[in-house]
Structure 1
Amino acid sequence: MNKIEVVFFILFFSIFVIPFTASSQETKLEHELLFEMTALLDEPIEIGESPMGKRTIYPVSGGTFSGPEINGKVLANGGDWVLMIDSLTEKLDVRAVLETSEGEKIYTHYGGFIHWNTDGSYYFRTNPVFETSSKKYAWLNYTIAVGVGELIEGGVRYKVYKIK
């Protein structure tokens, strides 16, 4: 190989081969339990059919949350603005305020879905986002989280995981 061929080979290798080799390494998504939460719901408020789907609002009447680093109660001032977009899929739009055992307030909002299977089972996932002025819990402002939901009598229960 002459010098031009060597330079061309190195250039080609560094542009096209090295990036694909580095990006093909497996990236593991790690998570850990942030908290478990139970939210109690009041009687639903039916808005009815619109061009977007059938809207029902479920007011939050309270609840609790508990985890390795944080625990407290769910205040009775939020709700879930559910949109039934087809016969099997509910789109969630939730807003709530959490109050820690130290009295710190944390606003959370999340979207998500409940998708019903024909056998009665369901897929229930959310993506909570947190906002707080608390210095102790400021890390929540930058936490990516995923909730796995479960319907219970009188409310919902979540296991919320932070993505590391």
Structure 2
Amino acid sequence: MQLELALEMQITLGPRMHIHMDGYTRGAVLIEKGTFRGPGISGRIVPGSGGDFPLVQADGNGRFESQYLLETDDGAFILKRSTGIRHAPPEVVAKLLAREEVDPSSYYMRMTPRFEAPVGPYEWLNRTIFVGVGQRNPDGSLFRFWKVV
């Protein structure tokens, strides 16, 4: 098994909203804007088309789900869904939640994205398994996705 870089996404996130439950918090962070680029594919993240919805445990670690639309430079729409895990020491989680700059090697943020692409030049996204790594920045996130070949 090998990995090949498929695409990279740079996303600007909006304000965080929280639902505080017994023992965990469900977050909602909507997409304000973003771009993506990879071999043979590029475009923008459709603003307001979705967001990240983390399930944060009392210790600050947790799982997340995301869903939003991509629009390629040639006008195709692709639905991207992802699930993942983020964990870090409490002091790193506090900095991430405060939207401070944090060394990406100080936390674990991995995901498995799935895509729904139309028939045509991007349908390879429908037939491929991907793995990804995330990096939080003060105003958004950077994601890199690799094809499992």
TM-score by length of 2: 0.85
SS for the counterpart of 1:140 is helix
For residues 19-53 of structure 1, give each alpha carbon's deviation from its aligned partner in whole angstroms, at most 9, with x where no partner exists.
xxxxxxxxxx20110011011110011111246x2
Q: Identify unmatched segments of 5+ residues in structure 2.
A: 93-105
Provide runs of 4+ in structure 1 moved above 2 Å.
Answer: 117-120
CA distance in 1, matches of 2:90, 2:3: 30
Aligned-residue offset at 1:78: 0.9
Aligned-residue offset at 1:119: 6.6
Does the alignment pair 1:141 with 2:126? yes
CA distance in 2, matches of 1:81, 1:36: 20
**One-letter identity of the residue aligned with 1:64:** T
Does the alignment pair 1:111 with 2:83? yes
CA distance in 1, matches of 2:60, 2:38: 32
**One-letter identity of the residue aligned with 2:77:** K
- The equivalent residue for 2:101 is none
Match 2:34 to one of 63, 73, 78: 63
CA distance in 2, matches of 1:102, 1:119: 43
More strand by share: 2
Match 2:46 to one of 68, 71, 75: 75
CA distance in 2, matches of 1:59, 1:50: 24
Match 2:68 to one of 96, 111, 128: 96
- The equivalent residue for 2:109 is 124
CA distance in 1, matches of 2:74, 2:42: 9
SS for the counterpart of 1:87 is coil
Aligned-residue offset at 1:62: 1.2
TM-score by length of 1: 0.78
- The equivalent residue for 1:42 is 14
SS for the counterpart of 1:128 is strand
CA distance in 2, matches of 1:114, 1:144: 20
For residues 74-133 of structure 1, give each alpha carbon's deviation from its aligned partner in whole angstroms, at most 9, with x where no partner exists.
111111111112414121110011111101110010100111135731000010000012
* Greater Rg by CA: 1
Indicate the RMSD between aligned Cα atoms, in angstroms: 1.4
CA distance in 1, matches of 2:86, 2:41: 26
- Between 1:114-123 and 1:32-41, the stretch displaced more is 114-123
**One-letter identity of the residue aligned with 2:124:** W
- The equivalent residue for 1:54 is 25
Does the alignment pair 1:162 with 2:134? no
CA distance in 1, matches of 2:16, 2:60: 19
Q: Identify unmatched segments of 5+ residues in structure 1.
A: 1-28
